[in-house]
Amino acid sequence: MLNSDELRFFLIIANHASLAATARALNVTPPTVTQRLQSIEQKLKLKLVDRHARRITLTDEGHLLAERAKLILAEMDDLQESLYSQQNEVAGRLKILAPLGFGNEYIAPLVMQFQQQYPKLSVELELSDNPDWSSDNSWDIIIYIGELRDSSLKLSRLAPNRRFLCASPGYVEQYGRPETPADLRRHTSIALRENAEDVTMWRFTETNSGTQEAIRIDPKLASNDGRVTKQWAMQGFGIIQRSEWDVAAQIKSGELVRLLPDYELPSADIVALLGTDLRARSVRTSRFLELMKATLAEQPWHN
């Protein structure tokens, strides 16, 4: 019979396209992964994986094992949490999904602080600007920034977050400032492609009158990495639309200049998405949510 470590190991294989990718995820050598998989197959006397040149596919038995393993491990985690909850102790496994830039800057330090505070807890933090919310990944908490069009998950607001239009002082000196959203058609724009949003449609609301206007930009540069688009803007290559948390420091230092300050862009509040209501939520999830709220509500990017 397989133990829980072997089940978790096989689930990692099932969620990757190749054994080499599994090895990278586990930070081990490919032969180590191969040997451990062979050991599991020998123990079960079943073939679980078909190996191809650069990829793997699960056999019918492999699919069945992966599906049942998810259920078994989830039940084991719930049991462990229930046992520890009797003593109000934070333990078990916490899975968090967060945006790449914001997660690296603000969530990762909180994860380290939280795990050190509760040594019996293990935390898995995945950073991605193209989040996978599929049923294959049972996240306890998803940190989201941007327009949330459709979600059955519970939402908990962590911090307000405005969006600004910015460019470098050098760009403004060379090309001038746009005075209205329509002027952007004569400027060079930079797009950040994230969260499946329509990133080339920039929507504005005039602060005093409330008049709304939408401009379809034709970006000369685009990337899925916010650090790249911000760097391009700081180097004078164009105008960006970015979250306040990401550009507040550069605006304060003068590396970026805020444009069209009399117009508001759609807000992109920072929220936590959770799969359960408060009564069913685990102690570890609730405590980490409390830590994030206490830290992020003060908007540390203004410091």
Predicted confidence (pLDDT) per residue in 22-33, tens digit:
888 888 888 888
Please tell me the predicted confidence (pLDDT) of residue 133. 55
Residue 140, burial from CB neighbour count under 10 angstroms (0-12, 13-18, 19+): buried
Averaged pLDDT score across all residues of the chain: 86
Architecture in CATH of 90-161+269-303: 3-Layer(aba) Sandwich (3.40)
CA distance 101 to 195: 13
Looking at CATH, the fold of the domain delimited by 163-264 is given as D-Maltodextrin-Binding Protein; domain 2 (3.40.190)
pLDDT: which is higher, 84 or 233: 233
Mean pLDDT in residue range 82-89: 61
Whether pLDDT at 279 is above 60: no
Q: What's the CATH number for 1-87? A: 1.10.10.10
At 181 the pLDDT is 94
pLDDT exceeds cutoff 60 at 250: yes
Q: Where are the domains of the chain?
A: 1-87, 90-161+269-303, 163-264
pTM for this one? 0.68
> What pLDDT is recorded for position 238?
96
SS3 assignment for 3-54: CHHHHHHHHHHHCCCCHHHHHHHHCCCHHHHHHHHHHHHHHHCCCCEEECCC
pLDDT in tens, 90-139: 778 899 999 988 999 999 999 999 999 999 889 999 988 766 554 445 78
| Among the listed residues 204, 240, 203, 235, the one whose alpha carbon sits nearest the alpha carbon of residue 225 | 240
Task: Identify the pLDDT of residue 82.
Answer: 64
The pLDDT of residue 155:
84
- What is the model's pLDDT at position 146? 79
Q: What is the Cα–Cα distance from 221 to 228, expressed in whole angstroms?
A: 10
Same fold, 1-87 and 163-264: no
